[in-house]
Amino acid sequence: MQKADSHFIPVTLLTGFLGSGKTTLLNRWLQQPEMADTLVIINEFGQVGLDHLLVAHQPDSTTVVELNNGCLCCNLRTDLKQTLKDISWRFSRHGQRQFKRVVIETSGLADPAPILHTIMSDAYVSAYYRLDSIVTVVDSVHVLETLEQFPQALKQVAVADVLLLTKVDLVNAGVQHAVESRLRGLNPSARLHQVQGSSTSMDWIFSGQDADGRFPHWLPAQAQAPMSEHQQQSISTISEQLDLPIDSDVFAAWQDALRGFAGPGLLRFKGLFHLVGQSQPVALHAVQHVMHAPVLLNSWPESMAPQSRLVFITQDIAEQDIFALLQKLH
């Protein structure tokens, strides 16, 4: 079991479909002092929307520029795994790494799962990096149509910890209500926030569990929720909380069961576990067939009693199969 130490570099994945406005938001964020000590990897191929910021020209396959606030921008044109391996020594001075966190902006057409696999499953990458949060930018004008036509957009919404709604000023209240209802149906555990005008707040991009092992932000929303089901198209979200602590042997066996259960239909699993004899919470994450090693966090939040909380986000998986898996914890 891993411990949530400060040596892990937190990674925020910023995704969103074409035209959602994620690059515009990132442009604003890059100008903020909160982005100091951050390395931004632009995971695009071809022309990149940050060309006016990426002014450095280097002969290799990666373009990098340091902004006034100390933030580094990296235009990725090679393998993400190799980039994550290289950046510590590429961006260091006097033997010291220049950044404390990483933000990866994906292509608008990208399925986020392969990037999550790289962060969670590669032995080297997972030894140094930790997924902090997934932030998905949503275009309020076109999202309802986009979700019907493009499975990538559906996955981007389903796996998110935070949903940022842009262009809310271009739709009426009825449309916005329909958009938010659709998003909550697809991913009720995500935090949903409207981005108004030229808002530059960083609260919604750096809102996951910090490197010091703070409580993951997505769990408090589930604190008072009984097991619930949300079905829309083929995406289903099931959450459960367990009042009694779980025996460590039962937890170990359940990890094996989850590993055997996992596959393409398990878009994301997020769980915080209260184990017998363990005063600290244990976090466990899985994306499709990849399961991250459990992480021992520093403490439970003061406002919440120790209690296991689990969230499954699935596609084309029978709900009774999830319930049968959950029963193995009782």
Render pLDDT for 176-192 as a digit per residue (tens, 0 to 9): 999 999 999 888 888 89
Q: Record the pTM.
A: 0.72
Q: How far apart are CA 297 and CA 221, in angstroms?
A: 18
232 closest CA partner among 165, 193, 190, 183: 183
Cα 132 versus chain centre, distance: 6
Render pLDDT for 306-322 as a digit per residue (tens, 0 to 9): 889 898 888 888 888 99
In the chain, which residues have pLDDT < 70?
1-6, 43-79, 88-98, 197-233, 301-303
Q: What is the pLDDT of residue 2?
A: 61
Q: In angstroms, how far is the first alpha carbon of the chain from the final one?
A: 22
Cα 309 versus chain centre, distance: 17
DSSP conformation letters of 100-128: SEEEEEEPTT--SHHHHHHHHH-HHHHHH
The 8-class DSSP code of residue 201 comes to -
Q: What is the pLDDT of residue 227?
A: 35
Which uninterrupted H or E stretch holds 219? none
Q: What is the pLDDT of residue 244?
A: 92
37-60 burial, b if ≥16 CB within 10 A, otherwise e? ebbbbbbbeeebbbeebbeeeeee
38 closest CA partner among 93, 91, 94, 76: 91
Q: What is the pLDDT of residue 246?
A: 95
Domains of the chain listed by start with CATH number: 2-194 (3.40.50.300), 223-327 (3.30.1220.10)
Q: What is the pLDDT of residue 163?
A: 93
